[in-house]
Amino acid sequence: MRIAVLRERRPGERRVALLPEQIPQLLEAGVDVSVESDAGAEVGASDEAYRAAGAEVGEDVLEDVNAVLSVQPINLSTARRLSEGTVTISFLPTAEEGPLVRRLRERQITSFSMDLVPRTSRAQPMDAMSSQSMVAGYRGAIVAAERLPRFFPMFMTSAGTVRPAKVLVLGAGVAGLQAIATARRLGAVVQAYDVRRSSAEEIASLGAKFVEVDLPPLEGEGGYAREMTEERSTRQRELLAPHVADADVLITTASVPGRQAPLLVTAEMVAGMRPGSVVVDLAADQGGNVAGSIPGQELSVDGVLVWGGSNVASQLPRPASELYAHNVVNLFLLMVRAGDLHLDFDDDILAAACVTHAGRITHRPTLELLG
């Protein structure tokens, strides 16, 4: 059996799906590896390093492969070249990738989406949503520290005492908790809010203060947040406004599965912040938690810097690729038995993450959407 690792083609994507370090493990499992030239160029993994680890490296790696690994979804022309029964593994946000999903179905390709790996204990080693959110949360705090025209930590010097920066994090999932931890390590005073019941304890365990507001928790299926009603949104914004105004740094990470990110901070709330404050919206790609934030752009709004995240994990491509590669290999090895491809759809992880198989869309919400 042979797998191919592609060079990423989407603008701004700097990660790679596999590093030379994982190749011996694959060879041992009976899987040969072909890597497209320059696939690891952005993360310091040279073609020579892949070759030295046992891979073949070349320009055309699609011939006779059983599986294709990538970070972003493959493009339509790559899908056209794959033979029936080939497996693809990548992020595959199906709502945005209708034409590709239809092409994968038509070509009888078995596609798996890293976005759909369940959040169960057994699936943790394959949970790329978490690993990449962790990278994004760290990056968000570092961007804020770098852009803020003041220190994060308190300094007591002979020239006087400098107060620490006040950081507010809204949304304390994987990215938010990492942003909190990073800002704390840099010495900031951190407060955070999330709608989930369990978040208060998690926030406190990182040495940050949970912002108490007079609103009930908002939890839906599987411990995830639910979408807010308009009334709740307005009330939440009113209650959070004074905390936003008091922050030097605001980092937002809130999202709700399958929905546009909730608007947590209005333009008026941004205008209420002190000039020189920094806003980092890590949900900008999903519609934004902050009014006016634009993915991939840094704007000055009434003297407040508003940084809109865009594929933020890719801005730290080396660790993001290391973690993603582990996730992807762990998922792929669930499909390998004695060096052959063996797809066991009684395995709940494979069943949940599969989008198309044998000419059908197997992921029910995608099927309902695309028909």
Identify which range of 17-25, 168-176, 299-307, 340-348 contacts ligand NAD by CB under 6 A.
Answer: 168-176
**Is there a catalytic annotation at residue 205?**
no
One of 102, 150, 224, 246 is an active-site residue; which one?
Answer: 224
DSSP states along 190-238: EEEE-SSTTHHHHHHHTT-EE---S----B-GGGPBPPPPHHHHHHHHH
**Cβ of residue 329: shortest distance to ligand NAD, in angstroms?**
18
Residue 314 binds ligand NAD, judged by CB under 6 A: no
Site size toward ligand NAD (CB under 6 A) is 28
Residue 168 binds ligand NAD, judged by CB under 6 A: no
Considering only residues 3, 256, 290, 313, which one is a binding residue for ligand NAD as defined by CB under 6 A?
A: 256
Q: Are the CB atoms for 158 and 137 separated by under 8 Å?
A: no
Considering only residues 20, 73, 140, 262, which one is a binding residue for ligand NAD as defined by CB under 6 A?
A: 262
**Is there a catalytic annotation at residue 124?**
yes
Q: Label residue 27 exposed, middle or buried (CB < 10 Å: 0-12, 13-18, 19+).
A: middle
**Cβ of residue 134: shortest distance to ligand NAD, in angstroms?**
9
d(CA 46, CA 354) in angstroms, rounded, equals 31
Residue 172 binds ligand NAD, judged by CB under 6 A: yes
Residue 124 binds ligand NAD, judged by CB under 6 A: yes
**Is there a catalytic annotation at residue 119?**
yes
Report helix, strand and coil shares of the chain as percent, to nearest 5. 40, 20, 45
**Is there a catalytic annotation at residue 130?**
yes
Q: Which two tokens stand for residue 259?
A: 């929905």
**Is there a catalytic annotation at residue 127?**
yes
Residue 132 binds ligand NAD, judged by CB under 6 A: no
**Cβ of residue 183: shortest distance to ligand NAD, in angstroms?**
16
Contacts of 360 (CB under 8 A, 6+ apart): 105
Considering only residues 225, 250, 251, 279, which one is a binding residue for ligand NAD as defined by CB under 6 A?
A: 225
Residue ranges in 185-214 that form contacts with ligand NAD under rule CB under 6 A: 193-196
Residue 228 binds ligand NAD, judged by CB under 6 A: yes
Long-range CB contacts (within 8 A, 24+) of 148-153: 148/248, 148/249, 148/276, 148/277, 148/278, 149/276, 150/248, 150/276, 151/187, 152/183, 152/186, 152/187, 152/188, 153/186, 153/187, 153/188
Residue 247 binds ligand NAD, judged by CB under 6 A: no
What is the Cα Rg of the chain in Å?
A: 22
Packing angle between helix 128-147 and helix 317-333, nearest 10 degrees?
170
Residue ranges in 133-162 that form contacts with ligand NAD under rule CB under 6 A: 133
| Chain residues in the site for ligand NAD (CB under 6 A) | 119, 124, 127, 129-130, 133, 170-176, 193-196, 223-225, 228, 253-257, 262, 264
Please give the positions annotated as active site.
119, 124, 127, 130, 224
